């Protein structure tokens, strides 16, 4: 890859990271695309998707694969739990303590090498709790 290309890619990723850091909504790739297009009008959805995948692979951001049908992304790389609202689909961060974290890197006696786990809490978000007709 040529130097200008690398520079452009780095700049793109910086903007994606910045935009993702501004929200706590755990946006989908489509939503991130909408956010970064304001700054990079010529960027494609495919590029945004690849950048998100690459940055989650290197631990800069988190990819949430359990929360709903579409993958969502989180600008906060620190381990924390997520909750998905059953009524509106919103995905939020839980304020639970770290006691709940599960050991996720061990050799199972049955021969499996465990390298991670996926889980999500489900429930009702603060807005939907207030509206009894939401669910």
The residues of the shown chain that bind Zn ion, judged by CB under 5 A, are 74, 85, 87-88, 90, 93, 125, 128
Q: Which two tokens stand for residue 56?
A: 């989650």
CA separation for the pair 123, 1 (Å, rounded)? 46
Shortest distance in whole angstroms from residue 115 CB to Zn ion: 21
Find, among 112, 68, 116, 117, the residue nearest to 89 by Cα. 68
With respect to Zn ion, which residue has the nearer C-beta, 32 or 125? 125
With respect to Zn ion, which residue has the nearer C-beta, 46 or 123? 123
82-85 and 91-93 beta bridge pairing: antiparallel
Beta carbons of 93 and 82 less than 8 angstroms apart: yes
Shortest distance in whole angstroms from residue 39 CB to Zn ion: 23
Shortest distance in whole angstroms from residue 112 CB to Zn ion: 27
With respect to Zn ion, which residue has the nearer C-beta, 6 or 100? 100
């Amino acid at each position: 890859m040529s130097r200008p290309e690398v520079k452009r890619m780095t700049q793109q990723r910086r903007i994606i990271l910045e935009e993702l850091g501004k929200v706590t909504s755990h946006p989908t790739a489509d939503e991130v695309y909408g956010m970064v297009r304001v700054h990079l009008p010529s960027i494609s959805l495919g590029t945004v998707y690849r950048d998100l995948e690459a940055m989650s692979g290197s631990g800069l951001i988190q990819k949430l694969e359990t929360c709903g049908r579409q993958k969502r992304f989180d600008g906060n790389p620190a381990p924390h739990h997520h909750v998905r609202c059953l009524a509106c689909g919103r995905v939020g961060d839980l304020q639970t303590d770290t006691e709940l974290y599960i050991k996720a890197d061990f050799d199972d006696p049955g021969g499996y090498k465990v390298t991670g786990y996926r889980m999500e809490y489900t429930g009702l978000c603060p807005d939907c709790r207030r509206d009894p007709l939401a669910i």
